Amino acid sequence: MGSLPDEYEGLIDEVVQCTNELLLFNQMETAAPGGINTIVREAGGALAHWRREVTELQPNHHHRPREELCNGFRIQRVDVPLGDLLYGFDVRLRGDMVALHCTITPEVVHVAWLSLAIFG
């Protein structure tokens, strides 16, 4: 595992003790380089390493595979044709989010997506 800042290590320890399934939403491509993407990859990988079921839902802006494993956790990508108009938000994405939430029944849901917080 990569090294996370100390404040993230403490947060992950708390989450790991009380949950088995986590659902993350990210508006960017997690597999791409960059600051927040690195944190999401490393945090998701650390949780998966501790035998937690981690699924991340994100828009498929770059036409990558609809599903793949990254650092031991599952990335699920959905097409959002209107996503470029509203900072990644597409009204059709709501149905995908609800369906995925019902399918995996996570104990923790993390939304790293300002537009979802506003419109969702």
Residue 89, domain member (yes or no): yes
Residue 27, domain member (yes or no): yes
Other beta carbons within 10 Å of 23: 22
Q: Which pLDDT belongs to residue 67?
A: 93
Q: Which pLDDT belongs to residue 116?
A: 44
Q: Which pLDDT belongs to residue 112?
A: 65
Q: Which pLDDT belongs to residue 66?
A: 92
Residue 30, domain member (yes or no): yes
Q: Enumerate the β-bridge partners of residue 54.
A: 22
Tally of structural domains, the chain: 1
Mean pLDDT by 10 residues, the chain (120 residues): 60 62 81 84 85 84 90 88 66 74 76 50
Tokens of 45: 């990988």
Using CA atoms, how far residue 66 sits from 15, 51, 114, in Å, is 27, 23, 23
Residue 28, domain member (yes or no): yes
Looking at the whole model, is its pTM more than 0.85? no
Q: What is the CATH number of the domain that holds 93?
A: 3.40.50
Residue 1, domain member (yes or no): no
Residue 15, domain member (yes or no): yes
Domain residues for the domain of 103 are 6-119
Q: Which pLDDT belongs to residue 1?
A: 47
